[in-house]
Structure formats: C-alpha cells, structure tokens
C-alpha cells in the first residue's frame, strides 16, 4: 500500500481551535453565548479531525511542522492511523460531554463555570496535541500541558478535599513525568539521536537489552496517567472533580492520553521488535496483569460509585498495555481498539453516576437500591455501559476484548488468557449487582418512591447517546477497527 | 557609527548616571526618564552589535581612546558577550519601566540618587561583559559591587546589616580575583585576555598560573554565591527593595557566571581548564551540592523573596556544573541558562514586586486568593514558575534539556539526578504557592458546605489587577519565556555554538 504523505496545517488547527476559543469564552456576556463558543470549537475540532479520516483510512499520513527547535527535532504533528483513532474518540466525546457539562454544572449551580469551560478547552487541545504528535518532545509538551490544565478542573471545588487530591494528582502525574519520563526521553535521545516516532521504533541497534528494559519501564511508570500500579492512586483521588471532568478526562482523555503515550513510545520509540526480542513485552504483560487483577479486586470493595468506576478504569487501562505487551497482531489491535471501546462504555457509566448525583444527591452504591424504578433511562444506560466494560455482546467492549483474547492465544500464553477472563468475571461481579439491585428489589427494600424522576434533559441525552454508541460500535466497529488494524500492521512491520 | 558601538554602549549610561544624579534637583521626573532613555539606548546598541556579530561571524574589537593592547584597554564583542549584553540591557530596562510605581513609593525625593545608582550598576555589568582586559574587569566589578551595596542598602530596616554582610564577603571575593590577576601579570606580563590566552598554553606547568586560576575562580565563586560561600545572597536579596532585587537578582550571579566562563575559556583556554587541570570533577560535585542545598533551603522558606533567592543559588549550581562538565552540550546549556535564568528570575521578581505593591506583604500567606483577584498577574507568575520547574515550551525546559544531555554525555549520573531532583523540588515550591493563591480564601471558609455557589459572593474576590504600567512589562517578561523556549535551538546553533571553542566536543 503506497503511503501518501500530505503536508497540511489541519492537525495544528485541530489543536489550536479550542485554544482560540478561550478568549471568546472568557469575554462572553451570558452563559448561553459562552457555551455556544465551546460548542463551536468542539464541532470545528471534530470536523477537522473527521476531514483527515478518509486520507488516513487510505493509508496516508498528514504532517505539519510548527517550528524546528533542535536541528532534527521540533514541534511537529503527524496524523497516522493510531493518532486518528484516539483523536476521533476524544473530539467526538468532547461534544457530548459539553452538553452534559451544561446540564450538570448549571443544575448544581457550580461556581467559576467560565474557568471550568476554559480549562476544559485547554485540556482538549492538549489531548489532540498528544494524539497528533510526531515526536516524543511534542508529545511530552502536550502531556505536561494536559497535566497542568486538568489541575484546576480536578480541584474545582477548591475545598480541603480538592486540595489534598490535587496534591496527590500532581505528585504522581508531574512527579512521574519529570522524574522518569523526562530523563528516559533524554537518555533515548542521547543514544539514538532522534525522538521521531517511526513504525518500528528507533532504539534497535543503539541500546543493550538492559538499557532498553530500564527505559521501557521508566516510560511505563513515568507516564503515570496510564495508572499502572503503583502509580495509580491519583486516579481515585481525582474523583473529587465534578463528574463531567471525571467522565471525559478521567475515563477518556487523561487516562487514555497516558495509555496512548505509553503505546506510542513502545511502538514508535522502543519498537515492537525490541519488545519481543528482549522479552520486555513479557515483563510489561506481568505488570499489567497484576494491575488488572488487583484493581478489579479493589473495585469490588468500593462503595462510592465514582471510586468503583475509577478502579475499574485502572484495570481497563492495563488491558491496553497488556495488548501491546503481547506483541501479536490481534493483541495490539485489541489494545488500541480498547481505547475507543472502553471510552464509550466508561463515559456512559460516569455520566450515569453524575446523573444520579444530580437527581438525588447520592454517591454511594449501597444507597442505590431500587433506583432503577425512579430513573429507568439512566439505569438502562448504566446497564449497557456495564456490559460494554465487562465485554459482553451486544456492546463495543466485546470486540476489543475478543481481539485481546485472540492475542493471548496467538502468543500462546494461557496465564494471560486466564487473567483476561478472570478480570471479565470480576467486572461482572462488581457491576451487575448495582444494576440488579436498582431494578429487581421488592417495594419494601426500595429506598426510593416509585414515581419516575429523571435528571435534567441535558444530563440524560448525552448518556443515552453514548450508550447507543456503545451498542452501535458492536455492529459497526469499522472505522475504529480498521484504524487499529492498520496501526498494528504498521507497528509490526507486516 | 557601528564601529563605535562597543564604546557607546557603556559610555552613554556612565554619562547618564552622572546627569541623572544632578537632574533630580531640577525635576523629579527627569532622572527616571534619563535613566530609561540611556538604558534603552544601550539595549539598542547591544542588539545592533549582536546582529552584526552574528551576520559577519567576526568579533568586534574596540580600542579605548585608540590605544592598542596590551597597554590600552580593548573591548571585545564576540558571540558570547553580545548575547549577554542584550540580556543585561533588556533586563535592566524592563525592570526599571515595570517598577516605576515602586520607585516612586520607595524613593520619594531620592529619585536622582536611586536612578543614578541603577544606571551605574548596569553600566558596570555592561563593561564587565564587554571588556577584554582582565584588570579593567576588576575595576568594573568594583563599580558594580559598590553601586550594588548601595542599592541593596536602601532597602528595608534590616537591609544595611545584610549589605554589610554582603560587602564583607563581596570584597573578599573581589580581592581574591584581583590577587589572581596580579599573579597572572607576574607570570605573563600582560593583562590583555587575548594575549594571556596565547601565553598560558605555553606555561601549563607553571605553579603561579595554577594558583592564579584557583584564586580567581574562588573569588568568582564567592561573587556568584556557590555553596559554601553563598551566605550573603538570600539575606541581601530579600531585604532589598523590589526594584533593586529586580535588577540585581537576575543579573549579578548570571554575569559572574559569564565572567567565570570567559576566564576559563578565553583566558585560560579549555585545554588548560578541562584538559590540563583535574578539578572539573570536584567543581561539578560542588555544583551538585549547591543545587541540592539551594533547593532544600528554598523549601524551608516562608518568605517569597527568600525562597526565590535560594532558587537562584540552585540555578548557579546548574550553570557552574553544566559548564564544568566540559562538553559542548553542557557548556551550551550553561550559556543558554544564563539567558534563560536571567529572564525567568526577572519575571519572578517582577511578580514579587507586583505582589508587594498590591498586598504589602511578601510572605507566602499574602498570596491568598490572588488567582481570583489578579488573574493576569498570576498567569504570568505561573508561566515563570513553570519555567523554573522546566515545563515545555518555556525556556527553562530547554536549558535543562541541554544540561541534562551534557550530564548524560559526560556519564555524570549524579549531576543528572541533582537536576531532576531540583526540578521536582521546584515543582513543590511553586505549586505550594499556587495552592495558597488558589485555595486559601475557600479552603477554610466552608469546606463542608454543599452549596458551592456561595463562594462567588465573597466581596474580596472582585478582580483587582495590578496597574497596567506594571502589568504590561511583566507580561512581556513572562511571554518572553515562551519565545526564548521556542527559539532556544536557534540561539544555540546561531550564537552559542560559536561562543564555544572548536576544540570542545
């Protein structure tokens, strides 16, 4: 397949558009005008991303260099299949989350909404920036930008709890990136002389197996947004944020930026061949498996709904890492596809958690008995989201898990297969009782009066859309699946 | 005209200092205007010279009064001094303009004297940078020191004591340098730097030259506040007024580092400093201690200006350590960091100046609620803080990039670790301030209340920004941090690369 390279400013514009909207957001006179700027930026961003999709699906790439800082290294963008996959997820979900934000923030009469929407826009710029980065330096730049832009969002309530969670957040995220990722990046640059993401990595032939292993682990733990244990505990802490933030940023953008960065570095810098040759992939798989099982077990014991979701996210992120660690075609396809599939499922769940809080003020699972009769739409969406995250048909999550399981078989690794299946079982154990108790409890046990009372429309519509999307993705996974397959083919060099 | 730029850049501010002092009796506004005009003129000269040096690739040489070296004094503008001159004049001008209100408040009726000292101090720094004569350098160093003591002494009630402390140590440092120059003269019979550089390589084994080198370097270490001779700096910088620290803090240590680089590279040549002598390892170790010590001490401070002062000490360690790694990357990093750190320190102290002007206090807790009150100032302050932490695309990231790369190339893990450690500590330092500014009016108020809407009703939260004539120069300074960052590759390939002798790999 001939690789067509197009030089276009579009990727840069896609990053910039939400930054440009910020002065407009700040200077808007009324709430409605302010939110329409958010929507304008979100739609333009999505359109820009979408306009590059046909080219990428045909095997082309879009490149743009903003400025050359070092002779062979600068701030540059390159849109390939993998980046496109992630950008599509992030930019489409931003639109839906914006609708939800309006409903949630206005319903709860939150303070400093302008600041909230501004930093949301910055965070999205950074996310797309990471997705389209052509080299590690650019990615690091946007990664840090995202860390800092999300800090005011996580600590939005500005109370004591937010303060200590914010500290934890910075400690892990900023500490990880400065302490591990930055030196790893510089050491890589010292050995290889380049930081460009290539199809097969740049380390091969420049480093010994020991160095490669150390660098790989430094990247894995340094990009702490991916929440690999023991660098995970910021994620549950960050759940103090308003729910839309948790939804988009901590189920989709931030954590997936972590996963994306790690996968990108594994494939584009370390190289899949090296992962396989030096058995680094196996080490990565073991670490990921540990995180999957332990996080799932912890999730079972959590009573706060958002905290349970957070631990579930930690486990699901490690699926992505596990998929790449398998270094097989199906495993990688599954891992990358999981970025998209898990995003739609998990964001639905978070939207539901927020909707429940909006309508009833309840945060704990133990108080949700019988809530299904009161909020049937919300809880049905919750059910669909759970199915997707567990990986059952007819939801998108099934497809990615299918490929992951195929990947373990291709790698001939029965222990990893067992890990995946056990984790699915655990997922079912900690999600389905919530749904069961919500719908199937006797009238005496129910903590709610039988009348129906859904949260505001702005909150319900987004979660309906995302749950429907989860189902549609089971039947039509094509754009994401094709992109993931293309990316896997490129990385494996076949 | 262009030919005379190396003289004009120093003569004009020297003359202006004279006029400034007198003009205060005639018109209270005149001193400020003359000072700004003179400094801006120097800035233009510096930029013109930089352009000329970069385009022609040849150093400019100027013989004062037409006397040729080694008898006469020669001023040499090469790539290294040209860029440092731009930094000095830019920082000095911007700080003076930005802190006009602080000057008016602090030095009522003394504008003439203050502005004269200010311009004199800058002129001395310019001369130190431009001169090609080792003894002339000492003379200018004393001009800088004396005007610096006066500037600092004009500060708070405890400032005179701090100044006295600074004066003792500063004089010892300068004397050491002078002694070193004396020994050099005994050994070589010349004071002209270019000539020294041709004689010293022929006498590598000379004990007198070795002694001269060591004692010069020691003197400079005192002047730049390396550990363990740093004691004068925090007290002096934190007791001085905002406008004085805004000038002295970004420039003094940086220019001294420049002098160290000049002495080690131009006078003693890299073959002698890195090749013949076996002291680089020890000095890098000293730099590592300085970095760690500076960072940890900064953690212990509650006064913002003192905290920033200790950060300066750590940054001195960055530059000295990077330079003595002895490879091209490390030296590039050190020189780049002279530029970047001057810009960062300026931005930080301008911010401190605004805080003191607005809140009257300089303790950490005085920052309470400032994100809501002064969003633009705080945005600039955050930018400056992130630059010190080393977050891209601010300039601090890129000099750290070179320094760490240099450390990796030299195989000096300890230095790399110290830089990373210091970055992490800086992150803690600045986010502690950001936290106070972001949370404090809220965190105590009603942390248990569920009604978050009530926060907005606090009367203290209305936006009360700093006056525009303080804010705009400050924002220019902080945006410069990003511009410098994005152009750091250009600065290195077009300027710094030529400042390092080709022998250094």
- Model confidence pLDDT, tens digit, residues A371-423: 888 888 899 999 999 999 998 888 999 999 999 999 999 988 899 999 999 99
- Predicted confidence at residue A494, as pLDDT, reads 55
HEC profile of chain A: CCCCEEECCHHHHHHHHHHHHHHHHHHCCCHHHHHHHHHHHHHHHHHHHHHCHHHHHCCCEEEEEEEEEECCEEEEEEECHHHHHHHHHHHHHHHHHHHHHHHHHHHCCCCCHHHHHHHHHHHHHHHHHHHHECEHHHHHHHHHHHHHHHHHHHCCCCCHHHHHHHHHHHHHHHHHHHHHHHHHHHHHHHHHCCCECCCCCCCCCCCCHHHHHHHHHHHHHHCHHHCCCCCCCHHHHHHHCCHHHHHHHHHHHHHHHHHHHHHHHHHHHHCHHHHHHCCHHHHHHHHHHHHHHHHHHHHHCCCEHHHHHHHHHHHHHHHHHHHHHCCCHHHHHHHHHHHHHHHHHHHHHHHHHHHHHHHHCCCEHHHCCCHHHHCHHHHHHHHHHHHHHHCCCCCHHHHHHHHHHHHHHHHCCHHHHHHHHHHHHHHHHHHHHHHHHHHCCCCCCCCCCCCCCCCCHHHHHHHHHHHHHHHHHHHCCHHHHHHHHHHHHHHHCC
B486 vs A69, A155, A175: nearest CB: A69
Contact A475, A335 (CB under 8 A): no
- Residue of B336, B379, B187 whose CA lies nearest to B272: B187
Bridge partner residues of B62 (DSSP): B75
pLDDT higher than threshold 80 for residue A449: no
Helices B79-98 and B328-359 pack at an angle, to 10 degrees, of 10
**How far, in Å, CA of B400 to CA of B406, rounded?**
10
Share of chain B above pLDDT 90, in %: 59
Whether B12 has a pLDDT exceeding 60, the answer reads yes
| Strand A61-70 to A73-79 pairing | antiparallel
Q: Is B37 helix (H, G, I), strand (E, B) or coil?
A: helix
pLDDT for the residue numbered B442: 57
What pLDDT was estimated at residue B448? 42
- Above 0.85 for ipTM, yes or no? yes
For an interface test with A, give the residue of B295, B379, B443 to mutate (most A CBs within 10 A).
B443
Residue A370 pLDDT class (50, 70, 90 cuts): confident
> What crossing angle do the helices spanning A457-475 and A396-411 adopt, rounded to 10°?
40
Q: Calculate what percentage of chain B has a pLDDT beyond 70.
A: 95
Closest partner residue to A70 (CB to CB) among B390, B420, B489 is B489
What are the domain boundaries of chain B? 279-444+459-505
Parallel, antiparallel, or unpaired: how do β-strands A61-70 and A5-7 relate?
A: parallel
Look at residue B405 in the predicted model and tell me its pLDDT.
93
Nearest 5°: the CA angle B203, B222, B94 is 110
Neighboring chain B residues of A186 at a CB cutoff of 8 Å: 401, 404-405, 408
Touching check for B431 and chain A: CB below 8 Å?
yes
Cross-chain residue pair B408–A163, CB shorter than 8 Å: no
Instruction: Quote the pLDDT of residue A238.
Output: 87
Nearest-CA neighbor of A261 among A191, A176, A367?
A: A176
Q: Which residues pair with B63 in a beta bridge?
A: B74
Pair of tokens at residue A480: 């994401």
For B357-370, the DSSP string reads HHHS--BGGGGTTH
pLDDT band at B451 (very low <50, low <70, confident <90, very high): very low
The pLDDT confidence band at residue B453, using thresholds 50, 70 and 90, is very low
Determine contact, residues B485/B398, Cβ cutoff 8 Å: yes
Which stretches does DSSP call E strand in B12-99? 60-63, 74-77
Q: Which of residues 40-69 of A touch B (CB under 8 A)?
A: 67-69
- Whether B186 and chain A come into contact, CB under 8 Å, resolves to no
Per-residue pLDDT reduced to its tens digit, A100-132: 888 888 888 778 888 888 998 999 999 999 999
Nearest to A186 among B392, B401, B453 (CB): B401
Sequence length of chain A is 494
Is residue A1 predicted with pLDDT exceeding 50? no
Specify the 3-state DSSP secondary structure of B302.
coil
Angstrom distance (rounded) from CA B382 to CA B366: 16
Q: Decide if A360 touches B, using CB distance below 8 A.
A: no
- Please name the residue of chain B whose CA is at the shortest distance from the CA of residue A181: B420
pLDDT band for B414, please (50, 70, 90 cuts).
very high
Chain-chain contact of B452 with A163 (C-beta, under 8 angstroms): no
Which residues of A fall within a CB distance of 8 Å from B451? 109
Sorted by where each begins, the domain ranges of chain A are 5-492
Nearest CA in chain B to A67: B486
- Res A446 pLDDT > 70: yes
Beta carbons of A69 and B455 less than 8 Å apart: no
Mutate to test the interface with A, among B395, B439, B453, B484 (most CBs of A within 10 A): B439
Interface membership of A209 toward B (CB under 8 Å): no
The winner for highest mean pLDDT among A201-215, A479-493, B86-100 is B86-100
Closest CA to A468 of A393, A372, A395: A395
| Degrees to nearest 5, angle at CA B471 with B469 and B474 | 110
Residue A267 vs residues A67, A204, A289, B478, B505: alpha-carbon distances, Å: 25, 12, 20, 37, 33
Q: Is the pLDDT of residue A140 over 90?
A: yes
User: What is the rounded average pLDDT for all residues in chain A?
Assistant: 89
**φ, ψ at B75 (rounded to 5°):** -105, 130
Give the pLDDT of residue B39: 94
First and final C-alpha spacing in chain A: 11
One-character DSSP codes across B420-452: HHHHHHHHHHHHHHHHHHHHHHHHTT-SS-S-G
For residue A175, which residues of chain B lie inside 8 Å, CB to CB? 424, 427
Within 8 A of A164 by CB-CB distance, chain B residues are none
Query: What pLDDT is attached to residue A223?
Result: 93
Whole-prediction pTM = 0.92
Count of other CB atoms within 10 angstroms of residue A478: 10
Cβ neighbour number for residue A229 with a 10 Å cutoff: 18
Q: Tell me how long chain B is.
A: 505
CA-nearest of A139, A290, A156, A158 to A223 is: A139
pLDDT > 70: what percent of chain A?
A: 99
What share of chain A has pLDDT > 90, as a percent?
Answer: 54
pLDDT band at B319 (very low <50, low <70, confident <90, very high): very high
User: Which chain B residues touch A74 with a CB distance below 8 Å?
Assistant: 489
The conformation of residue B456, written as its DSSP 8-state character, comes to: G
Whether the predicted pLDDT of B44 surpasses 80: yes
Side by side, the strands of the sheet bearing A73-79 are A5-7, A61-70, A73-79
B432 to chain A, any CB pair closer than 8 A? The answer is no
> Which of B175, B141, B422 lies closest to B287 in space, CA to CA?
B422
- Do A71 and B489 lie within an 8 Å CB cutoff? yes
Q: Give CA–CA dist A60/A19, Å, rounded.
A: 27
Query: According to the model, what pLDDT value does residue B460 have?
Result: 46
The answer to whether A384 and A369 are in contact (CB under 8 A) is no
Tokens of A94: 């931003």
Q: Is the pLDDT of residue B457 over 60?
A: no
- Per the CB < 8 A criterion, the answer to whether A434 and A352 are in contact is no
Chain A touched by B405 (CB under 8 Å): yes
Q: Which residues of A touch B401 (CB under 8 A)?
A: 186
Is residue B302 less than 8 Å (CB to CB) from chain A?
no
- Are the Cβ atoms of A158 and B442 closer than 8 angstroms? yes
Task: Answer whether residue B111 shows pLDDT above 90.
Answer: no
Residue whose entry in the numeric block shows the structure tokens 């262009």: B2
Determine the 3-state secondary structure of B74 from DSSP: strand
On average, the pLDDT of chain B sits at: 89
Whether pLDDT at A368 is above 80 = yes
Q: Is the pLDDT of residue B185 over 60?
A: yes
Which among A172, A211, A195 has a CA at the least distance from the CA of A314? A172
Query: Collapsing DSSP states into helix, strand and coil, what is residue B117?
Result: helix
Report whether pLDDT(B444) > 80: no
Inter-chain touch A179–B404, beta carbons under 8 Å: no
Q: Is A152 in CB contact (< 8 Å) with chain B?
A: yes
Nearest-angstrom CA–CA distance, A199 and A491: 5
Look at A110 and B452 and tell me if their CB atoms are within 8 Å: yes
User: Out of A197-211, A312-326, A381-395, which region has the weakest mean confidence (pLDDT)?
Assistant: A197-211
Does residue B449 carry a pLDDT above 70?
Answer: no
**CA nearest B289: which of B329, B325, B318, B253?**
B318
| Chain A touched by B388 (CB under 8 Å) | no
| Alpha-carbon span B487 to A75, nearest angstrom | 11
């Amino acid at each position: 397949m001939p690789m067509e390279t197009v030089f276009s400013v579009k990727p840069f514009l896609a990053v910039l558009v939400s930054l440009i909207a910020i002065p407009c957001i700040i200077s808007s006179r009324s709430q409605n005008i302010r939110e329409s700027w958010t929507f304008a930026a979100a739609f333009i961003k999505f359109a820009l991303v979408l306009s590059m999709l046909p080219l990428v699906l045909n095997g082309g790439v879009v490149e743009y260099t903003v400025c050359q800082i070092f002779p062979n290294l600068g701030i540059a963008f390159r849109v390939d299949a993998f980046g496109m996959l992630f950008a599509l997820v992030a930019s489409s979900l931003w639109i839906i989350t914006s609708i939800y934000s309006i409903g949630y923030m206005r319903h709860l009469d939150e303070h400093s909404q302008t600041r909230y929407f501004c930093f949301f826009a910055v965070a999205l710029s950074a996310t797309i920036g990471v997705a389209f980065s052509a080299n590690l330096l650019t990615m690091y730049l946007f990664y840090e930008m995202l860390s800092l832009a999300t800090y005011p969002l996580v600590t939005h309530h500005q109370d004591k709890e937010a303060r200590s969670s914010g500290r934890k957040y910075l400690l892990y995220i900023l500490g990880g990136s400065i302490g591990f990722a930055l030196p790893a990046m510089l050491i890589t640059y010292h050995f290889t002389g380049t930081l460009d993401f290539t199809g097969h990595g740049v380390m091969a032939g420049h480093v010994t197996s020991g160095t490669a292993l150390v660098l790989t682990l430094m990247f894995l733990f340094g990009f702490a947004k991916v929440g690999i244990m023991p660098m995970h505990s910021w994620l549950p802490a960050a759940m103090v944020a308003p729910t839309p933030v948790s939804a988009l940023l901590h189920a989709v953008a931030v954590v997936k930026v972590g996963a994306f960065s790690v996968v990108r570095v594994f494939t584009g810098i370390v190289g899949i061949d090296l992962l396989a040759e030096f058995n680094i992939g196996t080490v990565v798989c073991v670490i990921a498996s540990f995180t999957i099982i332990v996080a799932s077990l912890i999730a079972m014991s959590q009573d706060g709904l958002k905290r349970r979701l957070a631990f579930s996210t930690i486990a699901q992120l490690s699926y992505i890492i596990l998929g790449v660690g398998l270094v097989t075609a199906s495993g990688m396809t599954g891992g990358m596809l999981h970025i998209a599939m898990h995003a739609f499922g998990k964001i639905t769940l978070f939207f539901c958690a927020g909707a429940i809080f909006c309508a009833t003020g309840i945060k704990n699972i133990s108080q949700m008995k019988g809530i299904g009769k009161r909020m049937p739409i919300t809880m049905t969406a919750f059910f669909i989201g759970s199915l997707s995250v567990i990986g059952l048909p007819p939801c998108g999550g099934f497809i990615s898990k299918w490929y992951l399981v195929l990947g373990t078989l291709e790698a001939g690794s029965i222990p990893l297969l067992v890990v995946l299946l056990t984790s699915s079982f655990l997922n079912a154990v900690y999600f389905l009782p919530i749904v069961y108790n919500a719908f199937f409890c006797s009238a005496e046990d129910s903590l709610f009066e039988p009348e129906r009372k859904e949260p505001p429309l702005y909150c319900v519509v987004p979660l309906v859309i995302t749950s429907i999307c989860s189902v549609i993705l089971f039947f039509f996974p094509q754009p994401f699946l094709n992109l993931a397959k293309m990316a896997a083919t490129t990385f494996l060099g076949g | 005209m262009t030919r005379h730029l190396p003289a004009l850049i120093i003569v004009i501010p020297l003359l202006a200092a004279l006029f400034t002092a007198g003009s205060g009796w005639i018109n209270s506004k005149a001193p400020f205007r003359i000072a700004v005009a003179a400094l801006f003129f120097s800035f233009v000269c510096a930029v013109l010279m930089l352009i000329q040096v970069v385009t022609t690739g040849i150093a400019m040489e100027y013989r004062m009064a037409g006397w040729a070296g080694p008898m006469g004094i020669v001023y040499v503008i090469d790539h290294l001094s040209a860029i440092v001159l731009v930094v000095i004049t830019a920082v000095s001008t911007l700080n003076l303009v930005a802190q006009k209100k602080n000057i008016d408040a602090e030095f009522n009726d003394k504008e003439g004297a203050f502005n004269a000292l200010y311009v004199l101090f800058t002129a001395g720094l310019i001369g130190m940078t431009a001169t090609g004569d080792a003894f002339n350098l000492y003379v200018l160093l004393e001009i800088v020191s004396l005007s610096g003591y006066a500037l600092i002494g004009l500060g708070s009630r405890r400032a005179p004591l701090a100044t006295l402390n600074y004066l003792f140590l500063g004089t010892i440092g300068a004397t050491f340098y002078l002694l070193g120059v004396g020994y050099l003269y005994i050994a070589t019979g010349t004071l002209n730097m270019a000539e020294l550089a041709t004689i010293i390589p022929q006498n590598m084994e000379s004990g007198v030259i070795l002694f001269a080198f060591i004692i010069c370097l020691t003197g400079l270490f005192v002047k730049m506040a390396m550990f363990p001779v740093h004691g004068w700096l925090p007290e002096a910088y934190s007791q001085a007024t905002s406008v004085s620290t805004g000038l002295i803090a970004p420039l003094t240590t940086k220019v001294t580092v420049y002098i160290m680089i000049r002495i080690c590279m131009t006078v003693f040549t890299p073959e002698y400093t890195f090749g013949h002598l076996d002291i680089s390892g020890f000095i890098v170790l000293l730099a590592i201690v300085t970095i760690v010590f500076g960072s940890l001490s900064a953690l212990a401070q509650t006064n913002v200006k003192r905290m920033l002062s200790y950060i300066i000490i750590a940054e001195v360690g960055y530059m000295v350590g990077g330079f003595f790694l002895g490879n091209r990357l490390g030296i590039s990093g050190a020189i780049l960091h002279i530029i970047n750190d001057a810009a960062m320190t300026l931005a930080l102290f301008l911010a401190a100046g605004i805080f003191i002007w607005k809140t009257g206090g300089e303790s950490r807790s005085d920052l309470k609620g400032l994100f809501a009150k002064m969003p633009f100032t705080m945005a600039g302050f955050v930018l400056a803080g992130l630059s010190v932490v080393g977050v891209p695309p601010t300039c601090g990231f890129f000099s750290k990039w070179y320094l760490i790369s240099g450390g990796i190339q030299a195989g000096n893990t300890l230095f790399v670790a110290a830089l990373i450690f210091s970055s992490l500590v800086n992150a803690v330092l600045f986010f502690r301030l950001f936290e106070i500014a972001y949370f404090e009016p809220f965190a105590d108020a009603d942390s248990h209340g569920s009604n978050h809407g009530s926060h907005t009703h606090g009367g203290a939260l209305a936006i009360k920004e700093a006056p525009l004539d303080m804010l705009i120069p400050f924002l220019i300074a902080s945006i410069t941090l990003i511009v410098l960052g994005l152009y750091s590759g250009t600065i290195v390939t077009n300027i710094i690369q030529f400042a390092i002798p080709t022998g250094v790999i």
